[in-house]
Amino acid sequence: MLLKAGKAEDVMTDEWAAVRTPEDLGRFLARTRTDRGLTQEALAEELGVSRRYVSEIENGKPGLYTERLFQMLRLLGVRLRAEQIG
């Protein structure tokens, strides 16, 4: 099933997604986490971070690092694609 969000070239499938913003990446990571049967709490524990931190990533909360990263990708004309493996 293809889900189209935003622009026509923004594509998300069950296995991969075009990632142009922190929000795109967060949605993909959240969907992958739930596909794997993990809660935010379980993932946070495995990573050694708080559940709130996982939530902020999944919600695409702006941060200096992510803002600059996606700005750099846009300026360099780089397309990022996230893909589920295994």
Q: Which domains does the chain have, with CATH numbers?
A: 3-83 (1.10.260.40)
Write the CA distances from 18 to 22, 26, 72, integer angstroms: 11, 12, 16
| Residue of 84, 85, 76, 31 whose CA lies nearest to 57 | 31
**pLDDT score recorded for residue 78:** 93
**pLDDT score recorded for residue 17:** 85
| Residue of 21, 59, 63 whose CA lies nearest to 40 | 59
**pLDDT score recorded for residue 16:** 82
pTM above 0.85, yes or no: no
**pLDDT score recorded for residue 6:** 41
